[in-house]
Amino acid sequence: MDFLKRAAFVLGGIFLGINLINYFVMGHTGDYLPGGERMGEWRAAKIREACYPALEAPERDGLLPKLSTDTHRVDWRDLDRTRDMTAALNCYLVTHPNAVCERNNRAYIVDYINHYFAKFDEMMNTAKRYGEAEMSTVRKLWDSPRNRAINAALLQDTSSGRLIKADFGWSVPTAMKPMLDRYKGTSDNCPKA
């Protein structure tokens, strides 16, 4: 019995350690999204490769996020990441509106939506230290035509049941909670294969 307890603790420790490393170090947060009929394997998402061209030269897209002022405290790495994430999510949701209907794509897109809103929150938290002017700069940065198109697509996808609260599991982005709650119980209108 003692041996079994020890073995269980060792295995539990290894399991916990592997998962913590996978989540926090490797950043494979998609592994922890709910499974089931609606959600597939994020690694197998075809939309990821289909959208590589959208990420090739984001600087040429004038509709992507731009800083509205020269007097800001936004790091260029955050700025680049904002542009890349917006370009990618715009491709996943706006350019390919039906991509989210496929199980693997849905898992990948849900994970990406989490990262997208987490980045916005992180930048807003940094901006808070500098006051309202900096927060307004960051808000404007994330309010480009592409960001607005993403928001509209998210509203569309939640209202049509293509994205539901259960898809996000325990990690629902705060910004999406109201719309997911509002359209709770809507059955999806994805084209049937």
Instruction: Compute the least distance from the CB of residue 74 to other proteins, in Å.
Output: 7
Which residue number, 80 or 181, has a Cβ lying nearer to other proteins?
80
Interface residues with other proteins (CB under 8 A)? 5-6, 9-14, 16-18, 20-21, 25-26, 70-77, 79
Backbone angles phi and psi of 26, in degrees to 5:
-80, -20
Shortest Cβ 145–other proteins spacing (Å): 21
Distance separating alpha carbons of residues 98 and 109, to the nearest angstrom: 12
Pick 9 or 52: Cβ nearer other proteins = 9
In eight-state DSSP terms, residue 62 is T
Nearer to other proteins, 71 or 187 (CB): 71
CB 89, min distance to other proteins, A: 22
- Other Cβ atoms closer than 10 A to 146: 22
- Provide CB contacts within 8 A for 129, sequence distance 6+: none
What is the C-alpha separation between 70 and 151, in angstroms, rounded?
26
Nearer to other proteins, 49 or 70 (CB): 70
Burial (Cβ within 10 Å: 0-12, 13-18, ≥19) of residue 28 = middle
Q: In whole angstroms, how close is the CB of 8 to other proteins at the nearest point?
A: 9
Cβ distance to other proteins smaller for residue 9 or 32:
9
CB of 174 to other proteins, least distance (A): 25
Continuous H helices in 52-188: 76-90, 103-128, 132-141, 145-159, 165-168, 177-182
Give the C-alpha separation, 19 to 14, whole Å.
8
What DSSP designation does 163 have?
Answer: S
